[in-house]
Amino acid sequence: MAVLRAMRVTFLNLFRKPVTVHYPDVERKYPNRFRGLLALTYDQETGEENCIGCRLCEYVCPPAVIKVEMLKAEKRNYAKTFTLELYACEFCELCVQVCPTDAIIMMKSFDLSTSDRREMLLDKDRLHAIGLQHEPSWATGNLLRDMQTPPKAPAPAHAAKSGADPAGPRPAETTA
């Protein structure tokens, strides 16, 4: 009986459309919220790198795969070195969430396969190149923090119009 059930399943699946994507010949469309590789960004207006070397990403990284050295300059700080050991990264996105300048972001790609583990040790230049090659994900540190901030209560409309005290009416004073 079990053989007949197995043959039935095989027969049903024989005529179904295959779900295999023949990568890299066929590019798969990523979902809108897909988050893959990490990358560093440049400022769109000035062309300078966004990383200020604050090391928040290094401190928050659970597996400690990010190493940053700060270079102090007259106008602002920069990251002298920025290395990421991608082979040990958990892709938890905590580094993206804490970045105050949106310097480190996740991309809509995972295309960084290699047979040599040393190629997964990414330096600052390689992280910038990844940021220019691939489409960025929707999530940036500032956007994620804004989403997590509780909404502020709106001011009552009637109090603002009448100029009344927002605390409400006060009890009448008694004279003794």
Q: What is the CATH number of the domain that holds 39?
A: 3.30.70.3270
Give the residue-averaged pLDDT of 31-47.
88
The number of domains in the chain is 1
Q: Are 140 and 67 in contact (CB under 8 A)?
A: no
Mean of per-residue pLDDT scores for the chain: 85
Q: Which residues pair with 84 in a beta bridge?
A: 66, 122
Q: Which residues pair with 49 in a beta bridge?
A: 42
> Does the pLDDT of residue 4 top 90, yes or no?
yes
Residue closest to 93 by CA, chosen among 141, 32, 146, 31: 141
Cβ neighbours around 91 below 10 Å, total:
14
Residue 169 is predicted with a pLDDT of 56
Please, how many CA atoms are within 13 Å of residue 166, restricted to the half-sphere of its CB?
5
Domain-embedded: residue 44 = yes
Domain-embedded: residue 164 = no
Domain-embedded: residue 43 = yes
What's at 176, amino acid-wise? A
Domain-embedded: residue 78 = yes
Residue 170 is predicted with a pLDDT of 57
- Per-residue tokens: 165: 């005290």
